[in-house]
Structure 1
Amino acid sequence: MHLSSDKVLSKRLYHWADEMDADVLRALVALLRARSTDLTDVEAKAAAGGFPKSVRDTLSAFSNDRGGTIILGLDEGTNFGLADGFDPIRIRDALATACADDLEPPVRAEIDIVELDHGTVVVAEVAELDPRFKPCFVKARGEYNGSFTRGGDGDRRLTDFEIHLLHTNRGQPDDDRDPVPGAVLADLDDLAVESLLRRVRQRQRRAFSDLDDLTVLRRLNVITADHVPTLGGMLALGSYPQQFYPQLNATFVVYPGLTAEDVTPQGPRFLDNRTFDGPIPSIVDEAVAAVLRNTSVRSFVEGTGRRDVYDYPVEALREVIVNALIHRDYSPYSRGTPVQIILYADRLTVANPGGLFGAVTEDDLGGEGVSSTRNPVLVKLLQDVRMPESDRTVCENRASGIPTMLRELRITGSALPEFHNRINRFKVVLPRHALLTPGNMRWIDSLGIVGLSATQHMALAQMHEGGAITNQSMRNFGLDARRATTELTDLVTRGLAVRIGERRHARYVLAPTNEQLPWQPDGPTSPDPSDREAAILNALGSAALSRREIQKATGINQIATIRTLDALIASGKVEATAPPRSPHRRYRRTSET
């Protein structure tokens, strides 16, 4: 059923209809205008002359990536002003048809017509496609020419390697079972093999105690039926796996500045540069030691002993390197690509070929028991393979790596990691400093907002440094899922953050500055707090008003209204009639005023 134009313009549709989502859209458009460009997960088109063909590429890209928002009716040439001649009904119907008929599999998007700046735009929320059905492609171009992902603020065609990764993500890869051409039993380390056999016979007597060595190794997929070492067996137990795959190792570079190009004229290009070869246990051991040698350590006296605190907690460092080596892609496409460890002045990055595998998303990372293993043979072996000169195994507790990393970072007060997942690459960024630095705390204090929680302070600090926050980020700070949603919603309500993306994959970034906020574009905003207080008290009179009613009566923008109300409540001049997030919350003058 199609709505008439009059009905469309007079009615707010679907989930954007509630006031919170309408504010989110306006704030999102303000963010586009402030940055004067599209965002990675927000694409705006004028669509004044008809439905743009390039929107089909964007639908494919968002479906293959983390999802995103398409806004039609905004002209980037006029800094995202309303497009002249835009027909919302026709464009909405064309977009719905493209989603249903022009892509394979069809795109299930929420498509709405929304009022904005005294006009209308068409908004589509595109969810990420289930990994079992990727890639989503434009039918007319075929899978290998019509599959896209996001790159910067535009769409980029997927490479053959990326399409291969999406295909393997539908099932269980078995690259770690592949026999290593030219390898023989003698290429396995005798001591490592003996240790493994002894351990599995002790732990799993029924399965292995009565079997000869070769049969045990075949059952563990260390070797094939023809006694050829497998890729997983060689990586876990080989004397020198790089004889057969020279790039299946880890590289380490230390730069003196914040980027690879940040070098003084007479200074060194890098402070350290090395490659770690050998089986995975040796690579992990040497890589952790190298990072620690290149970072500072602070010593504290505790009782009769001393405690050393590194820039990066040792356990967190170990887990991030182990995860990169065991969860990377080992298909023939990427056997020429090492794990890359790069240390900058302010951060450590660890990147591996191949994005997250299976149904695990960035938002799932850090959850207890969350695991999906691309290389099951390798992971299972490393649960029983020991680290050099240690009783610890490489993978002590499956699915506990990232939770362990997060716990160690919280204990030391370090900033939490950033996860960057692409189809062909996964990167972890560990900031070198704590989140709540004096500079960040001064900035938060300058906002003049009262009643923020400690976790909201940390979220604001991370956004202030250019990062984004998700519901999972808040859970990583120690909140449960419901409380995380509540605190993020509160930041949006206060005008401090903007939500980007549909609910399941939403991320939050810092809101535009006061001057860029769109809630009251034509109204005055007094720079003097005392004038704002007087205006609000005058508007309240003897009535109880909502925050929106106060904004309408005074012309003061949202952030300034919230700050002033907080100050008036703190001084006892105004009281609220309901809790902060109640839809029935009103404000009234107290008897003192």
Structure 2
Amino acid sequence: MAESITTDQELADAIALMREAGTDLKDYELKEAKGGFPSSAVESIAAFANTNGGVVILGINEKTFAPVTDLDVRKLQSQLAQAARERLQPAVQIDIQVLHYRQSPVLVANVPELDIMQKPCYVKKRGKMDGSYLRTGDGDHLLTLYEIDRFMENQYRVARNDLVAVPDATIDDLDPDLLHQWMRMQRAGSFERSTAMSDEQILINRRVLADDGNGTPRPTIAGICALGSFPQKFFPRLNVVFTSFPTSRKGDILATQRYLDAENIDGPIPAMISGALRAVSRNTRTGAVVVGALRKDIPDYPLPAVREAIANALMHRDYSPEAQGAPVRVELYPDRLEIINPGGLFGPLTVEALERKERTQSRNQFLARILEDTPYTDTDGSEGKVVENRGTGYPIIAGSLAQANMAPPFVESDLDEFRIVFRRRQTQDGATDSATDMKHQILTFLANQSSAGTAEVASRFDISRRTAAQHLNDLRKEGLVEAIGAKNSPKRAYRVIKN
């Protein structure tokens, strides 16, 4: 949530940041308003309401950052309140402050983030498709149809893309062994009436099959992805792409080769999980710790945590037509492992609630239910099911890392994708330096933001402000980031230097 501006000093600090950056920032939008109420202010309010909140400031020149003279504060205040109340759907309850900058009055509107059930906020006269905005970087941008669809899914908590029947697919495209074992679980389940049902009835009831509209039962997306022999026959990019990069920055021009290892991992979900785990294993090292008088070999990343993250990515990814061209990505760097899937957290679930292990929410309810009974053989030969679906996914990840004395994962989610990052273990032979590792994580975080302050970095990585300040200062000295704002200002921020 963006910080509000409620005092003259906070206003001065915010303007100083923008002056040094030479532009608006992700949390602040300047409007001169010299000729009257700017219509673009309505778009900015909608954008902030759809993102993380923010502040619209009227009465400051966007180029010189000087206050405007002869500002009709009373009229603008009324117009601003009316616009937020009557020109947006839903109405946004903004907090309007009349503050002063260099002895001149300035109108400040603190815009709260709307609840997920109210998004997207849009300009009424343009409609939802042409009047919904999102705040990215220093500007307001129209939402794409894909982004609006994701907001609507979250609002109504209804995503049924996994139930779509796959044209041209037949029951013969399901893997016989997987199907046999899965069906055996259904017959042995607690639903006694299943014994009186045919196999086809069970498959239809569990949404492995669905009518194609012409009376022919065909595998659904959920069915073909969980139990199919080769789902990529129908959806080439519903797979996992593994890449091992030689340096900590993708596309680093200093790298002598683009990647160390790369693989397209195909097959049904159980096969893709085990294939991705093997790819991670063969590209990571085994280090050591001393426990008592004994040396114990340990991998760079706890495989139970990696397995759970990959399974979650495949189960919770977006299977809508717009996202079917995007694979799950498993990206290994010298200092970290990233697992990225199309589609952010679903419904009311937030990163904060996920990290507090408060709740779970399934975008693909029927796929999740199928995977509960889908057999899986791990890389060590142990057997089980693909998922438990008991809200234990993230706790298993966090617990495995904690048990290995490793830092919690870094989690990031937006409308388009979900990303979980594991920091590489610091082994006893000095394979990874924890300070360097943290700096790389902070740099990655800043690369996805227009800017961020010390407090924001400290909160994101669960470190002290002093430690965050030290890492940011080191990155600044290395020429990787630059500071904006006065040195001792509480609103001083940092951003990545673009090459």
Interval containing the TM-score (normalised by the shorter chain): 0.7 to 0.9
Specify the SS of the correspondent of 2:166. coil
1:148 aligns with 2:137: no
Specify the SS of the correspondent of 1:516. coil
2:361 corresponds to which letter in structure 1? S
Change (3 A) 1:396 1:65: same
Deviation at 1:291, TM superposition (A): 1.9
Instruction: Tell whether the 8 Å contact from 1:65 to 1:422 is kept in structure 2 after alignment.
Output: no
1:42 corresponds to which letter in structure 2? Y
Change (3 A) 1:179 1:255: same
Structure 1 residue aligned with 2:110: 125
Deviation at 1:130, TM superposition (A): 3.0
Instruction: Tell whether the 8 Å contact from 1:40 to 1:153 is kept in structure 2 after alignment.
Output: yes
State the alpha-carbon separation in 1 of the partners of residues 175 and 396 from structure 2. 30
Structure 1 residue aligned with 2:495: none
Deviation at 1:343, TM superposition (A): 2.3
* % same residue: 35
1:477-521 Cα distance to aligned partner (Å, 9 max, x none): 5xxxxxxxxx99xx69xx979xxxxxxxxxxxx9978953358xx
TM-score by length of 2: 0.80
1:402 corresponds to which letter in structure 2? Y
2:147 equivalent among 148, 156, 162: 162
1:227 equivalent among 217, 222, 230: 217
State the alpha-carbon separation in 1 of the partners of residues 386 and 148 from structure 2. 31
1:447-493 Cα distance to aligned partner (Å, 9 max, x none): xxxxxxxxxxx99x96998477999996995xxxxxxxxx99xx69x
Structure 2 residue aligned with 1:173: 159
1:517 aligns with 2:488: yes
Instruction: Tell whether the 8 Å contact from 1:184 to 1:227 is kept in structure 2 after alignment.
Output: yes
TM-score by length of 1: 0.68
Change (3 A) 1:420 1:44: farther
Alignment of 1:384-399 (within 5 A): 384-388=373-377, 389-399=381-391
Structure 1 residue aligned with 2:95: 110
Structure 1 residue aligned with 2:269: 280
2:370 equivalent among 371, 381, 396: 381
Change (3 A) 1:440 1:288: closer
State the alpha-carbon separation in 1 of the partners of residues 324 and 436 from structure 2. 42
Change (3 A) 1:262 1:511: closer
Instruction: Kindly report the root-mean-square deviation, in angstroms, between the aligned alpha carbons of the 2 structures.
Output: 3.7
Deviation at 1:115, TM superposition (A): 4.1
State the alpha-carbon separation in 2 of the partners of residues 472 and 227 from structure 1. 52
Greater Rg by CA: 1
1:432 aligns with 2:417: no
State the alpha-carbon separation in 2 of the partners of residues 513 and 37 from structure 1. 11
1:211 aligns with 2:197: yes
State the alpha-carbon separation in 2 of the partners of residues 184 and 98 from structure 1. 54
Structure 1 residue aligned with 2:474: none
Alignment of 1:327-346 (within 5 A): 327-346=316-335
Specify the SS of the correspondent of 1:170. helix
Instruction: Tell whether the 8 Å contact from 2:5 to 2:55 is kept in structure 1 after alignment.
Output: no
1:422 aligns with 2:408: no
Change (3 A) 1:29 1:386: farther
Specify the SS of the correspondent of 1:74. coil
Deviation at 1:237, TM superposition (A): 0.8
Specify the SS of the correspondent of 1:150. strand
1:185 corresponds to which letter in structure 2? I
Deviation at 1:278, TM superposition (A): 0.5
Deviation at 1:421, TM superposition (A): 2.4
Deviation at 1:147, TM superposition (A): 1.5
Instruction: Tell whether the 8 Å contact from 2:5 to 2:110 is kept in structure 1 after alignment.
Output: no
State the alpha-carbon separation in 2 of the partners of residues 264 and 323 from structure 1. 34
Deviation at 1:262, TM superposition (A): 0.9
Alignment of 1:14-53 (within 5 A): 27-53=13-39
1:348 aligns with 2:337: yes
Deviation at 1:76, TM superposition (A): 3.7
Structure 1 consecutive aligned stretches of length 4 or more whose deviation exceeds 6 Å = 467-473, 510-514
2:316 corresponds to which letter in structure 1? H
2:227 equivalent among 215, 224, 237: 237
1:495-549 Cα distance to aligned partner (Å, 9 max, x none): 979xxxxxxxxxxxx9978953358xxxxxxxxxxxxxxxxxxxxxxxxxxxxxx
2:59 equivalent among 68, 73, 80: 73
Alignment of 1:559-570 (within 5 A): none
Change (3 A) 1:464 1:272: closer
Instruction: Tell whether the 8 Å contact from 1:417 to 1:430 is kept in structure 2 after alignment.
Output: yes
Q: How many residues align?
A: 457
Deviation at 1:199, TM superposition (A): 2.6
Structure 1 residue aligned with 2:124: 139
State the alpha-carbon separation in 2 of the partners of residues 473 and 357 from structure 1. 26
1:55-88 Cα distance to aligned partner (Å, 9 max, x none): 222122222223222233333423x444444444
Gaps of 5+ in 2: 427-431, 447-451, 471-480, 491-499
State the alpha-carbon separation in 1 of the partners of residues 294 and 220 from structure 2. 47
Structure 2 residue aligned with 1:259: 249
State the alpha-carbon separation in 2 of the partners of residues 292 and 165 from structure 1. 34
Specify the SS of the correspondent of 1:299. strand
Deviation at 1:22, TM superposition (A): 6.8
Instruction: Tell whether the 8 Å contact from 2:93 to 2:112 is kept in structure 1 after alignment.
Output: yes
Deviation at 1:111, TM superposition (A): 2.1
Deviation at 1:254, TM superposition (A): 2.0
State the alpha-carbon separation in 2 of the partners of residues 440 and 362 from structure 1. 25
State the alpha-carbon separation in 2 of the partners of residues 313 and 469 from structure 1. 30
1:243-278 Cα distance to aligned partner (Å, 9 max, x none): 11111111122221233321447x222111211111
Choose 278-287 or 296-305, whichever is displaced more. Answer: 296-305
State the alpha-carbon separation in 2 of the partners of residues 468 and 372 from structure 1. 31
Specify the SS of the correspondent of 1:322. helix
